[in-house]
């Protein structure tokens, strides 16, 4: 079998490099969806739900990015 020259951990390196933007975009999506929902006829409290969901998803994604950075820093060969 031939050994592949492609990095087997390319996704981890991608998350380390672009994780801040990924977290911001993922965090903004629930708020944008709730704004679109209010425009389409949902009640105004949907904005509050979207804001809480945005904050929660942003914190979740930031913790995931930091965890991946720790893993890459500590465990992957350099």
Q: Tell me the domain boundaries of the chain.
A: 14-71
Longest Cα separation, the chain: 60
On the CB side of 16, CA atoms within 13 Å amount to: 13
* Res 1: pLDDT: 44
* Res 6: pLDDT: 85
Cα–Cα distance for residue pair 13/78, rounded to 1 Å: 12
Cα–Cα distance for residue pair 42/5, rounded to 1 Å: 51
pTM for the predicted model, two decimal places? 0.84
* Res 62: pLDDT: 97
Taken in order 37, 43, 44, 46, the sign of the CA dihedral is negative
* Res 76: pLDDT: 82
For 32, the 3-state DSSP assignment is: helix
pLDDT < 50 stretches in the chain:
1
């Amino acid at each position: 079998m031939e050994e592949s020259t492609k990095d087997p951990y390319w996704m981890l390196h991608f998350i380390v490099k672009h994780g801040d933007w990924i977290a911001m975009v993922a965090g903004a999506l629930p708020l944008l969806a709730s704004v679109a929902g209010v425009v389409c006829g949902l009640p105004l409290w949907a904005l509050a739900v979207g804001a809480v969901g945005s904050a929660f998803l942003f914190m979740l994604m930031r913790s995931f990015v930091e965890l991946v950075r720790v893993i890459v820093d500590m465990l992957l060969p350099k």
